[in-house]
Amino acid sequence: MTVGPGRPRHDDVLTPAEWKIAEQVRHGLTNRRIAQRMGVSLDAVKFHVGNALSKLGFSSRSELKLWDGVAKGTALDRKRRSVMQTEQSTDSIMMLGQIARTTKLFEESHAWYRDVLGLPELYSFGNLAFFDLGGVRLMLTEEEGELASDSILYLRVPDIHEAKEQLESRGVNFINAPHLIHRHEVGTEEWMAAFEDNEGRPLQLMTEVRTAVR
Q: What is the CATH number of the domain that holds 26?
A: 1.10.10.10
147, 26 Cβ separation under 8 angstroms: no
Cα 57 to Cα 126: distance, rounded to the nearest angstrom: 34
pLDDT for residue 3 is more than 60:
no
CB-CB neighbours of 195 under 10 Å: 19
23 and 98 belong to one structural domain = no
CA atoms within 13 A on the CB side of 96: 12
**Which of 1-5, 73-77, 123-127 has the lowest average pLDDT?**
1-5
pLDDT at 212: 63
Cα 148 to Cα 175: distance, rounded to the nearest angstrom: 13
Write down the pTM of the prediction.
Answer: 0.73
Q: With bands split at pLDDT 50, 70 and 90, how would you rate the model's confidence at 20?
A: very high
Q: Which helix (H) or strand (E) element contains residue 94?
A: none
pLDDT at 198: 75
**Which of 4-18, 132-146, 153-167, 190-204 has the lowest average pLDDT?**
4-18
Cα 18 to Cα 56: distance, rounded to the nearest angstrom: 11
| Sign of the dihedral defined by the CA atoms of residues 100, 103, 107, 112, in that order | negative
Work out how many domains the chain is built from and give that number.
Answer: 2
Number of H helices, E strands in the chain: 7, 8
- Amino acid, res. 68: D
53 and 101 belong to one structural domain = no
158, 210 Cβ separation under 8 angstroms: no
Question: CATH number of the domain that 97 lies in?
Answer: 3.10.180.10
Burial (CB count <10 Å: 0-12, 13-18, 19+), residue 14: buried
117 and 181 belong to one structural domain = yes
pLDDT at 10: 67
Give the chain's end-to-end CA distance (angstroms, integer): 35
pLDDT at 104: 80
52, 16 Cβ separation under 8 angstroms: no
Domain end marker among 67, 84, 103: 67
- 87 occurs within a structural domain: yes
Residue 75 falls in which region: left (phi positive, over 0), alpha (psi -120 to 50) or beta: alpha
Encode pLDDT of 41-54 as tens digits. Answer: 999 999 999 999 99
Encode pLDDT of 58-113 as tens digits. Answer: 999 999 999 999 999 899 998 888 765 545 554 557 888 999 888 888 898 899 88
* pLDDT > 70 in the chain, percent: 86
pLDDT at 47: 97
pLDDT at 149: 56
